[in-house]
Structure 1
């Protein structure tokens, strides 16, 4: 099964933004982030048009501020360096809600 690629540097993030990518902003301490772990791999597997990345918000606070990611878990999608979609809030997200967001990107 495919999985999320962890972003470890701003340079890696900037390069990933150039492709069709979806970023999951998360944190280890976030209960709503833990909630999506059991099914996020299936979402990644079902949406092969995009590369999925995980960003630990605690390691990239300034990036989160720049992207107005104030709540987690949140998703921001890019294509050719441009934001093509945002699913950003502090609310728990279901498998159906995440897939519906990805469906709007195409």
Structure 2
């Protein structure tokens, strides 16, 4: 999962097909909880390109998209947000997979 560090890299990432952004921070225990599960989830959902955005580095992006709780996931299709999983609660791998399945349904419905 590539790290996004600038507004420009964020904009480029979301404009490129099906993208999932995981908003997190290094100090966030709930973020580090889901981190080990993400490589396997990424392999299962290769229809998406996955990126990580540090909330503290990209606070303006978080404000623009209403992301305050982390970890949070936003799915984009060609620059348009299609789905989100935003809360301040810990995410389980099963919840992330459910979010991704719903995101795929939304992307396929738009295609």
- Match of residue 99 from structure 1: 97
SS of equivalent to 2:88: coil
Cα RMSD (Å) of the superposition? 0.7
Report the CA distance between 1:95 and its aligned residue: 0.4
TM-score, normalising length: structure 2 = 0.90
Partner SS, residue 56 of structure 2: helix
Distance 1:30 1:72 in 2: 8
User: Does residue 76 of structure 1 match 2:99?
Assistant: no
Which residue in 1 is equivalent to 2:54?
56
Question: 2-side partners of 1:59 and 1:8: how far apart?
Answer: 6
The CA deviation string for residues 4-46 of structure 1, in whole angstroms up to 9 with x for no partner, is 1110221111111112100000001001001011111111111
**SS of the counterpart of 1:58?**
coil
Structure 1 segments, 4+ long, off by >6 Å, are: none
**Structure 1, unaligned stretches of length 5 or more?**
none
Gaps of 5+ in 2: 105-111
TM-score between both structures, scaled by the size of structure 1? 0.94
Map 1:17-32 to 2 at 5 A.
17-18=14-15, 19-32=17-30
| Count of residue correspondences | 103
The answer to whether 1:10 aligns with 2:2 is no
SS in 2 for 1:59: coil
